[in-house]
Amino acid sequence: MEKQFSLRKELPRLLPLGFKIIKCPEIIFNPLLEYYHYRKKLNSKEKVFILYDNPKFCQWLINSFYSIFQQEVQLPIEFSHLWGIKRYGKSSSIPMWRESLYTHHLSSQIIISQDKDWPFYIWDYYNKLHTISTSPGDIILYEGSKRRHGRTQKYKGNNYDLIYLSYKIKDWKYVFKDLDT
């Protein structure tokens, strides 16, 4: 039975605080690193190393993380969005925001490479702001559509590379309601 929602607050909680840090299993992280180094050799100045030019690798990645992420939440999820390996450079920053209400119920940042720390900020369900430091192989799992998050400090390093991968709650459908009527 499909459930409907119109507001962020109608979505159920997926993680106790709205976020969690986990380690990427080596069996997944090592092939990611190989692909990352391969793409970097092709063009080290790219801002995004695409994944969709290798559909088998892309599908393997989606399936591999699905099983890990599904274990972390109590509701069934399904794939919704995948960025390639996104590269941030010197002075990059990301304002506090929330992601798409339709597709980013469970978001993740898989940290691939960094030459300096770059704090990730997120508000939990108890109105506490958390500052998270990561290293390659860490995964920030968070409720992207519900929890305000960002990297508001300017990055002081040269390269911070990560993958954005998101899932939505299965059988939940967004329905627009005109609240002005």
Contact 131, 94 (CB under 8 A): no
Contact 169, 163 (CB under 8 A): no
Q: Does any domain span residue 1?
A: no
Contact 174, 10 (CB under 8 A): no
Number of domains in the chain: 1
- CA dist 125 and 143 (Å) reads 10
Q: What strands, in cross-sheet order, belong to the sheet with 19-23?
A: 19-23, 138-142, 106-114, 160-169, 77-88, 48-49
Q: Does any domain span residue 2?
A: no
Give the HSE-up count for residue 156: Cα atoms under 13 Å, Cβ half-sphere. 5
pTM of the model as a whole: 0.93
Q: Does any domain span residue 7?
A: no
Q: Does any domain span residue 8?
A: no
Q: Does any domain span residue 6?
A: no
User: Going residue by residue through the chain (181 aa), what tens digit of pLDDT does each one get?
Assistant: 788 988 899 999 999 999 999 999 999 999 999 999 988 888 777 788 878 888 999 999 999 999 999 999 989 999 999 988 999 999 999 999 999 999 999 999 999 999 999 999 999 999 999 999 999 999 999 999 999 999 999 999 999 999 999 999 999 888 887 766 5
Supply the range of the domain harboring residue 123: 16-170
Identify the CATH number of the domain in which residue 36 sits: 2.60.120.620
